[in-house]
Structure 1
Amino acid sequence: MTDRVNVIAYGAYDRHNYGDLLFAIVLKRYLEADGRFEVLIAATKASNLSSYGALPTMPLKKALDATRHQPKTMLIVAGGECLTAQWESIIGYLAPQAIYYPIKASPYLIGHKAFIRLSRLFTSIPSDIPLVLGERDLPGYKVMYNSVGGNEISRKKPLIHAAIKRNLQDCTYVSVRDRETSAELDKLGIEHNLVPDSAILISDIFTPKVDPAEAGHIVFHISDHHAKRRIEAIAQQLTELNVNTGLKIALLTIGKAPGHSDDEPLDKLYSLLGAERAYRVDSGKIEDIIGCIATSKLYCGTSLHGAITALAYAVPQIALLPQRVIKLSSFLETWVPKQSCGFAEVPQISQIGTNLINSFGESQRAELDTVIEAMKARVRANLDHMVALYDQAPARGESARSQQPKPETVTAG
């Protein structure tokens, strides 16, 4: 057997944000399955979150150094709301919690250009946007984007907006995961395909055990940012939901990174609800998160990948605060049948949750299973397409570029 070719999967895998950790797992499992590729998991820095079930990472610079000898290398920016992630967020996530907000404010104190220069120097990443790479700075690399997100690109500062457009024009292939992002790329004139988030494949990898004797539970999640001034009202709604359905509320921690930590608001909710109505799931381990959601009767929360996990296991979902969490509501509106999901502001949680649980029967589950399989097929085809583009692409020093297909028209579920 010939030596395997190194592929770089690049993303924000060096912090505990559940969805980002899933992309690395899915890509590595899928691309290494046929024996051709060895996937290097790269991020802004080296990390080891294996205690949570995540894959260790190496700095992007080290991954680039390890692949420069190859005639060509596929570099996949593997999912997430990466198109609009700016340096202050990425550096802030890697810092101790105490200095997260000072770092977020730094560009406004020293200027955005200066902060970008310092960030690039600190991480050795050749881009003004940390997760948006172009090929002019990476000769011999075929940069591709795997069903990524990036809402409100047009609202970014001119410096950031121009960098996003420049680097996306300078890559081999782009696929995005929702209509909002697709509309933004249309404005930029960037060719792209619309493809579901690749984390939908996790149900091919993890098979949680379901005890048929258990009544099930309702999963609730909310980020610290979105919980402010809403805790008491949420507790009242969850109490009503528990009374209406007889199901306990599993208060699930999904993120633990600075800026993504969920523990504080969920702990407060538990103190208000009590052990009679709720319990906490706060390990942060990937298998615990998946198991909690996959065996539930309903997911309600602000986490996109909490909802995608529910979708992958045919559990109905509620997008909480849909007007504020655009990436979540946009994804569900793009792909999920209306009978299987809901959109709720805080005062609507109990009513919408009760209605979804009562109306979600065998016919709705069968419809959702069909949608899920179609989504998975699109994700696999997208990954196969990127491999085909890599195979067709010229090696270093050769001319010509592969042509990517025109965007597909997708009908919402």
Structure 2
Amino acid sequence: MTSKATGVLVGAYERDNFGDILFLEQTRHYLRDVKTIATAPVPADTTPWGGDVVDSYLTHASRSDVNFLWTVGGEVGGTSVAQAYEMARQGDLPQQAAPEENELLPGYASPYLPRPTRFPAFTSSQSIINSVGLSAAKGLTGLHRVETWQALHEATFISVRDSPSSSFLKRLGIEHEVAPDLVHSMRLTHEVRDELRNVALVQAKVKFIHEIGIENFARALLNANSLKSYHIRFFSAGEAPGHDSTETLETLASKVNELSHGTRADVSTAKTAREKFDEISRCGLWIGTSLHGYIISTSFGVPRIGLFIEKLNRYASTWQVPYPTGVKIGDLDRAVEGALASGMNRDSMVLADELAARADQNARTAVEFALRGDDPSRDIELARRRIERMTPTRASLERTAKSLRDAGARFYHSVRGS
């Protein structure tokens, strides 16, 4: 049955990152009977990467028909507005106004966790925060902390994907769910085509490749005896600033072929998020820093190795994924041996089924919460929630303002005294 509700979806949909685009695609799968608008802090056209023409959610801040605001996926807790604007400055995207020039999105706001009571259209809307990591929110200070933490307090439904994020919310006294990343549910909604079991996909953020050095990285791959039977295919998870670089991967592939006197390596031509998903789900081995590369390989029983990144450790530990994470390049050979020894066994497939089922159920629960506002009889309850939201926000802002005034007074008197 088609719902009359309208939902504003908020995420990092303005950038070339296949995980964020998969979040959008899979969220819409669960909201397929609902009108949804894909938005980000800034507008963009990500259709070349399999995304959408994305609005800025600021353009919808005065609408009267928004039933729910839905933030899905990613490490959204600590991102600043300045960082979000910087991420949007890629390719042919237009330069955006500086954050401080926009009253609705000041520099201290949380770009991917908009506080509903900041926006007229969203004050009475349901607020869904699904499949996120919030560990970085612990270290926020000043008004950025007030805005972000209050956005969490105002949420109707929160689901986090790792244990440290859950511990943080418990400390704040915020009710929430802990569930596997939404992308696990793609095991239930997508079929795998012909397998590429002789291909090892290798992905890494460009800064890590350069820190290690092109030649050192290439030699580490060639010196891994357990990789000898694989064709090495370098893979980009997305070209957003600070992420991956096809140019660097092409240089790396050339170095591998030069050192091996052959054609042992090439670079993936997958461009859209769906093409990247397909290639990971079909490969024989995954090695990378991308969390969603690790999640997709887990979902389809592909042996996997997580390189370098702490959030991979947090995630694998939370869901007891028995494959190496946090692997340093010098330990690659031993890690590959361990991953291949585990292989595609019955336990790994049972785990994949369990994670997919839990992610699916969590998404369905989030939809139920989102559509509560679709019932006009709930107007009184929504009005009550609006009052509840406004009170702690005002109190938090007043406490912060008083703290700043007191600090200013102390500074003034210290200067006068000197």
Shorter-normalised TM range: 0.7 to 0.9
Contact 1:151–1:326 (CA<8 Å) still a contact in 2?
Answer: no
Is 1:389 the counterpart of 2:389 in the alignment? no
Q: CA deviation at 1:292?
A: 2.0
Q: CA deviation at 1:97?
A: 7.0
1:262 is aligned with what amino acid?
A: S
Task: Please state whether the residue corresponding to 1:20 is helix, strand or coil.
Answer: helix
Match of 2:184 among 200, 210, 213: 200
Please tell me the root mean square deviation across aligned C-alpha atoms, in Å.
3.0
- Deviation per residue, 1:61-92 (Å, 9 max, x gap): 334455x136xx12110111112111121000
Query: Following the alignment from structure 1 to structure 2, what is the Cα–Cα distance between the partners of residues 17 and 390?
Result: 26
Query: Following the alignment from structure 1 to structure 2, what is the Cα–Cα distance between the partners of residues 90 and 206?
Result: 31
Match of 2:168 in 1: 184
Once the two structures are superposed, the pairs formed by residues 4-403 of structure 1 within 5 Å of their partners are 4-32=4-32, 35=33, 37-65=34-62, 68-69=64-65, 73-96=67-90, 117-118=100-101, 120-121=102-103, 128-137=109-118, 138-211=122-195, 215-231=197-213, 232-241=215-224, 244-274=227-257, 276-321=263-308, 325-338=309-322, 340-361=323-344, 364=345, 366-392=346-372, 394-395=378-379, 398-401=382-385
Contact 1:143–1:173 (CA<8 Å) still a contact in 2?
Answer: yes
- Deviation per residue, 1:243-269 (Å, 9 max, x gap): 644101110011112222332432231
Q: 1:7 to 1:97 in 2, by over 3 A?
A: closer
Q: CA deviation at 1:168?
A: 0.9
Number of paired residues? 375
Q: CA deviation at 1:116?
A: 5.1
Query: Following the alignment from structure 1 to structure 2, what is the Cα–Cα distance between the partners of residues 369 and 178?
Result: 21
Q: CA deviation at 1:49?
A: 1.9
The structure with the largest helix share of the pair is: 2
Unpaired segments ≥5 residues, structure 2: 389-418
1:148 is aligned with what amino acid?
A: V
Unpaired segments ≥5 residues, structure 1: 107-114, 404-413
- Deviation per residue, 1:183-233 (Å, 9 max, x gap): 22233332221111101122334434215xx65211110011222221333
Query: Following the alignment from structure 1 to structure 2, what is the Cα–Cα distance between the partners of residues 74 and 126?
Result: 24
Query: Following the alignment from structure 1 to structure 2, what is the Cα–Cα distance between the partners of residues 388 and 2?
Result: 14
> 133-142 or 312-321, which moves further after superposition?
133-142
1:194 is aligned with what amino acid?
A: V
Q: 1:69 to 1:9 in 2, by over 3 A?
A: closer
TM-score (norm 1): 0.82
Q: CA deviation at 1:47?
A: 2.4
Q: CA deviation at 1:145?
A: 0.5
Query: Following the alignment from structure 1 to structure 2, what is the Cα–Cα distance between the partners of residues 98 and 390?
Result: 35
Query: Following the alignment from structure 2 to structure 1, what is the Cα–Cα distance between the partners of residues 360 and 190?
Result: 17
Query: Following the alignment from structure 2 to structure 1, what is the Cα–Cα distance between the partners of residues 371 and 25?
Result: 23
TM-score (norm 2): 0.81
Query: Following the alignment from structure 1 to structure 2, what is the Cα–Cα distance between the partners of residues 3 and 154?
Result: 37
